Amino acid sequence: MSTVIYKTGMDCPPLKPGELRIYGTKTCPYVQRCLLLLHAKDISYEFISVDLEKKPEWLFKLNPAGKVPVLEQGSKVLYESMVLFEYLDETYGAEKLIPSDPYCKAKDKLFIDVVTNAFMPALKIMYRSGNRKDIWMEQTGNFRRSEAELKERKTNFFAGDVPGFADYMVWPFFCIAFCAPVIFKDLKAPSSEDFPRLVQWVEAMKKDKAVLETQLEKHIIDYWSRATNEMPGVVVR
């Protein structure tokens, strides 16, 4: 994987014939959704890092909104994490991560949407905007909602016995949230006493192959460690 971060004024590297390429940044939860699927299905890809504060001009040619993730393969260009996840799941591998049952798929999408919208304020902690204690307190309802969802499904993962569509789509947001108390000591991590199923799910997800390979926890803590003087040199478990 290239370590170059492409910024304004830099040319886009040439795309090799047939190669699947993802543009983004590894601390972005939406990008991580796609990377999790790629690793879960052992799909070969090239990752191109872009600076989201100094976006290269060619990013807007791929996606007029200038957002990531963006997928490029030959003449094919797609964006939006849900679109990419569905496209990749349908295109690669016989075993699908997205439920084939329309109702189950719809239920998963509703849950994903609720979790994503609820966690958006928590991203402000990552970018050091707003009162982080107040923002963190607001997340209690999201933890409680997810705990109830696991209890209702009566499974270790949202997808069942193994991680699937719903798990990989919401994991990046939970990972960022659970990293926050590691960096900011004034925040209290969700406990197994209050959220037993959710904490168990988080620990199980940390052992998943795709999660281990994409290393979002490391990327987030490295980012925060550079951005704050509160806890330099933090060690990742």
For residue 50, which phi and psi values (nearest 5 degrees)?
A: -125, 145
Angle at the Cα of 191 from the Cα atoms of 190 and 196, rounded to 5 degrees: 110
Spatial neighbors of 14 by CB under 8 A, at least 6 apart, are none
Smallest CA-to-CA distance from 71 within 83, 89, 58, 55 is with 83
The answer to whether 175 is a known catalytic residue is no
Angle at the Cα of 35 from the Cα atoms of 32 and 41, rounded to 5 degrees: 140
Structure tokens at 81: 């994490």
Q: Which of 12, 28, 34, 175 is catalytic?
A: 28
Structure tokens at 215: 């290393």
Alpha helices in the chain, H assignment, sequence order = 29-40, 57-62, 81-91, 102-119, 123-126, 132-138, 140-153, 165-183, 196-206, 209-214, 216-227
Residue positions annotated with a catalytic role: 28
